[in-house]
Amino acid sequence: MIKFLDLHKINLPYHEAFHQKMQEVLDKGWFILGDEVKKFEQSFAEFCGMRHCIGVGNGLDALVLIFKGYIELGVLKKGDEIIVPANTYIASIIAILQVDLVPVLVEPDLNSFNISPEEIEKKVTSKTKGILVVHLYGQLADMDRIIEIGYKYNLLIVEDAAQAHGLVFKGSHPRAFSFYPGKNLGSLGDAGAVLTNDDSLSKMIQSLRNYGSEKKYHNELAGINSRLDELQAAFLNVKLPNLEIENNRRREIARRYTKEIVNDKIILPFCEKLENHVFHLYVIRTKNRDELQNYLKLNDVETLIHYPIPPHKQKAFSSWNSKSLPITEKIHDEVLSLPISPVMTDDEVDKVIRIINNY
């Protein structure tokens, strides 16, 4: 069986270094916001070309803290509208709701799966104060056009980069990262980070992640507890130096899929430039998605669906269930994610291509 994602195999080369790091953390006896967190924050900021990295508990918290930080700074206020892709993972929308902002769902571009700039502009109102851009599946959204729209209407731009580790970004908007184990840069548990060049926002988020306290037991704000775990930071410090190598292997597999899968029943993902995609996922479309998935399973190829139910059709958002978002719905009915990871062998890639071409 070709696993969709073999996390044991992905992490196996790091096991010795992980054990060493665990011992170092145990020996130091400092488990919250210690040297490993500081080292990762500095290293990841440098890797991404940003001034500040604030390690937090997970990717959802990273988004929540960005918006909460802007509210505390007076840049946003409760009730402001934030434009967000309709076909994103639900966490993007939950983050907006958790700080009493109003998500406005916008259709994606059918080819790239990313939010459509044309549809963004149609949804801008006097209440619109920001755009949450999601680089879905690891592909850079159309940032040139989105930045133009943001400038034209004086809108904040926040980037959900939970699937985009190692992507070359445009601009210096605050970015939220998740290091969930299955990500291109994955920890061994939940972990996240905020990156920003804004000194005020960085200082605010550092306080908010730690109960709203800069000095212990002195709470200037009603913050939350969302601190990057010292041990997870240690594991991330081990893996970060290999991120670009692993992303390039993903690109190599994606290049082969795109060139060698030839089946008129399959719509391959659009990618204008490989450097604009880190292929967290390689997502195809087909009208007979369930049939294809079962066929692949019978031939020992594991696949997943990202995502089977669009946010506006989820029970959690019952007030939106009657919304019509046909492009989003079409995508969720047709997408299927093929195996892609830095530890896939050429033989495994050959097999996936051969089986799909025989479908």
Rounded CA-CA distance 55/28 in Å is 20
**16 class by beta-carbon count within 10 Å (0-12 exposed, 13-18 middle, 19+ buried):** exposed
Query: Is 48 within 8 Å of 195 (Cβ atoms)?
Result: yes
Spatial separation of the C-alpha atoms in residues 137 and 146, rounded to whole Å: 18
- Asked if residue 113 lies in contact with residue 139, where contact means CB atoms within 8 angstroms, the answer is yes
What residues does 32 pair with on adjacent strands? 229
Give the angle subtended at the CA of 277 by the CAs of 274 and 283, to the nearest 5°. Answer: 105
End-to-end CA distance of the chain: 18
Rounded Cα distance between 282 and 289, Å, is 15
User: Which positions are catalytic?
Assistant: 183
CA-closest candidate to residue 326, choices 91, 110, 29: 110
Report the amino acid identity of residue 331: I
Phi, psi of 354 (to 5 degrees): -65, -45
The pair of structure tokens assigned to 236 is: 């991330």
